[in-house]
Amino acid sequence: MNKQSFARSKNEAPTKSQVLKLERSSHWLLFLIGCAVLCCSLLMRSPGQSLVYLPGYGFPLPDLCTSKQLLGLECPGCGLTRSFIAISHGEFEKAWKLNPASFLAYALVMGQIPWQIYQLSRIRRGVLPIEAGWIYVLPALAAGSLVVQWAVKWCLPS
């Protein structure tokens, strides 16, 4: 491809089929991530309060929180993996103790599955997916709730 044709292709608007192809890829990715999180939280186990085990694996997974390892301080997301496992296994009190904001984060992740199916069905029919600004409020609320619960944990005496 020479410079002129490259410049011309950069200035042209993408066709609807190109946009749909790109959208299809991103919506499939989000759908698969939601499914993977759900499957992992159903298959993993977390006996007690701090260990996480993969199915068929006899050793606990290492603690991956860099803040906890380097500073000795929990981050706003500490306990999310164990909370997701607890929610998937119906242990709601345990999930609340690990990270109260996990319920909103869990609902957001699980909500991705039907939402992405809907978006993919639109794309399959040749209709552009819904793009609205309000959709970004939900992840912002989840992130905000993680920070708020973290701050409350540090302010309240144990």
pTM of the model: 0.81
Give burial (CB, 10 Å; 0-12/13-18/19+) of 36: exposed
pLDDT tens digits for 28-82? 999 999 999 999 999 999 887 788 998 888 888 887 788 888 888 888 988 899 9
Mean pLDDT of 129-150: 89
- CA pair distance 124, 17, nearest whole angstrom: 11
pLDDT tens digits for 99-123? 999 999 999 999 999 999 999 999 9
Give burial (CB, 10 Å; 0-12/13-18/19+) of 75: middle
Give the start-to-end residue ranges of the domains of the chain.
Answer: 17-155
